[in-house]
Amino acid sequence: MNKRFARNSIFGLVAMSSVLLCGVPVSQAQGMTQQQAQEMLQEMKGIRQALDKLSALPVPGQAAPPPDDKVNMTFQSGGFSMGNANAPLVMVEYTDLQCPFCQQFHNTTFAQVKANYIDTGKIRFVSRDFPLDFHENARPAAVAGRCAGEQGKYWEMRHVMIVNADKLKSDNLISYATNVKLDVPKFTACLNSGKYMQDIDKNIAEGTAAGVSGTPSFVIGTLDNDKLQGVRLVGAMPYAQVEAKIEEMLAQRKN
């Protein structure tokens, strides 16, 4: 991984962690069980350890300033999406399936976004893989999602993996494939082939170009051919915050 990108990724995650938990007792963090909060604290410790290791590494040149939250990006075709293909807004999530913050967003906010905006035709939701290097199971899980997609079960597999973000070793992935009724031998062959590594790297490159440095991160905007123009949001945001931004952007579309 590029040293500067790695360092920026970790700083982004530390900042996200502070937003989620700073000043809030673990037992009182909104929407989290004690176990989930403890898992997030362990994640923060891991991030800090990785940051300590990187602090000794030389980075050529001066660090680039943090990118603006406004985004004008080239949008890759293909991938996995849900909702109306002609919806007025596109919402892209860059996710790491092992990330507890992605799990938190999925468990507390995503269902409401889906019910109120995706299912009603106001948003096309797109999932992009952004596995972080210090999550050893994130990239295999990203491949597993795509292998499930070959059998029309991407979203089912994605859901099971995010809900079980701390249990993504290879044996678990096979078990989840069985649970969502995949052809397991076919799935296993796909998983072992590594055939989707380049596609995952393309997702990472797209996210990096959009200023993504931690997960979950989102780009919400309007799509014109292959150009997506909008804003970048970062972190396991509560539904009210996501709703406010979506409503603001929908209102702009009407004007």
pLDDT at res. 49? 55
Domain range holding 204?
A: 3-254
Q: What is the CATH number of the domain that holds 96?
A: 3.40.30.10
pLDDT at position 37 is 63
Given this model, what pLDDT does residue 150 score?
97
The mean pLDDT value for 65-75 works out to 77
Rounded to an integer, what distance in angstroms lies between the CA atom of residue 61 and that of residue 109?
Answer: 39
Tell me, yes or no, if the pTM score tops 0.95. Answer: no
Tell me the pLDDT of the chain averaged across its residues.
83
What is the C-alpha radius of gyration for the chain, rounded to an integer number of angstroms?
18
CA–CA dist 231, 229 (Å, integer)? 7
When pLDDT is averaged across residues 88-92 and rounded to a whole number, the result is 97
User: Tokens standing for 131?
Assistant: 């596995």
Q: What is the pLDDT of residue 194?
A: 84
Specify the residue for token string 């799990």: 103
CA 236 – CA 31 distance, rounded (Å): 11
Q: Which pLDDT tens digit goes with each residue over 1-59?
A: 444 444 444 444 444 444 444 333 444 445 566 666 666 666 666 655 554 544 444 34
Question: Are residues 187 and 148 in contact, defined by beta-carbon separation less than 8 angstroms?
Answer: yes
* Among 233, 234, 97, residue whose Cα is nearest residue 157: 97
207 vs 9: CA distance, rounded Å: 12
pLDDT, one tens digit per residue, over 195-215 is: 999 999 999 999 999 999 999
Q: How far is CA 239 from CA 117, 164, 226, 242, in A?
A: 12, 21, 28, 5
Mean pLDDT, range 81-93, rounded to an integer: 96
Q: What is the mean pLDDT of residues 69-85?
A: 92
pLDDT over threshold 70, residue 220: yes
pLDDT tens digits along 115-132: 999 999 999 999 999 999
For residues 50 and 47, what is the distance between their CA atoms, to the nearest angstrom? Answer: 5
Query: Across 26-79, where does the E strand assignment appear?
Result: 70-74
pLDDT at 78: 87
Give mean pLDDT, residues 157-172. Answer: 97
Q: What percent of the chain has pLDDT over 90?
A: 69
With H, G, I as helix, E, B as strand and everything else as coil, classify residue 251.
helix
- Cα–Cα distance, 122 to 24 (Å, whole number): 34
Average pLDDT over residues 50-69: 47
Could you tell me if 144 and 173 are in contact, meaning their C-beta atoms sit under 8 angstroms apart?
yes
Q: Left if phi > 0, otherwise alpha if psi is -120 to 50, otherwise beta: which for 32? A: beta
Number of domains in the chain: 1
User: Residue 72 — pLDDT band, cuts 50, 70, 90?
Assistant: very high
Q: Tally Cβ neighbours within 10 Å of residue 39.
A: 17
Residue 62: φ, ψ to 5°: -85, 150
Cβ atoms of residues 72 and 221 within 8 Å: no
Q: How confident is the model at residue 219 (pLDDT cuts 50, 70, 90)?
A: very high
